[in-house]
Amino acid sequence: MTNLTSLTLAEARDGLAKKSFTSVELTDAHIVAIENARVLNAYVLETPVHARAMAAAADAAIAKGEAGPLGGIPLGIKDLFATRDVRTTACSKILGNFIPPYESTVTSQLWRDGAVMLGKLNNDEFAMGSANETSAFGPVVNPWRREGSDAKLVPGGSSGGSASAVAAGLCLGATATDTGGSIRQPAAFTGTVGIKPTYGRCSRWGDVAFASSLDQAGPITRTVRDAAILLRSMAGHDPKDSTTVDRAVPDYEAAIGR
């Protein structure tokens, strides 16, 4: 079988549709990869039991022909997004073991579309940093090295866990947030693709705020196509966030190369 953690999100989506492998198999491969790469400190909370249950549900939906656009795709979630019944701390001891009784709009839309949550990703504390060295859970390590050197490099921040996890094959895509470069800079540091969408394209409801007039959620992925696929599910008008734009979400994937 193909190394499932080396697939792009688009390739995994197509493989699931063709039944070349199951979401449970795809998810298990990523769970093992995460366990073997803990030295990177990309995840602050692993949720393997939750992930396998979501993957099994996705496989059932695929078998019925009812899969959503992200059906069975394992993702990592920046620890700035509230996840119902799953610890969310913004990587700060201030929030301790806060368990949200609600789900952020962005993540709820990912689950609506069939995605699988592998766990919560490391970030600078309250997103205040640009090297992912201020997290209460410790710094994140960039999976890349300079040629001939074993020196550990930073992945950028504040979405360093998201960028490191995607670059290392620990998820097929990740949520991130950007106020003054927190998606774009980590993507540049790790050779991944990061997009800060136009303000108002993605809801901020359920995200831990840094600067509300600048904060915006977006994807970090391996390819432009993957970013387009993930952004389409993340974007959309939200009555709970008055700054979101009330316009239809375009098919970003179809627009690639135009």
- Which residue has tokens 């303000």? 199
Catalytic residue among 23, 130, 158, 162: 158
- Which residue has tokens 């792009």? 8
Give the integer Cα–Cα distance in Å for 113 and 109. 6
Catalytic residue among 182, 196, 203, 233: 182
- Cβ atoms < 10 Å from Cβ of 139: 20
Alpha-helical runs (H) found in 104-221: 105-112, 160-167, 184-190
Catalytic residue among 23, 78, 135, 159: 78
Tokens, residue 53? 């249950």
88 exposure class (CB count in 10 Å sphere: 0-12, 13-18, 19+):
buried
Catalytic annotation present for 158: yes
Sign of the dihedral through C-alpha 152, 155, 160, 162: negative
Tokens, residue 136? 């209460």
Q: What is the CA radius of gyration of the chain?
A: 17
Catalytic annotation present for 213: no
Three-state SS at 96: coil
Catalytic annotation present for 78: yes
The catalytic residues are 78, 158, 182
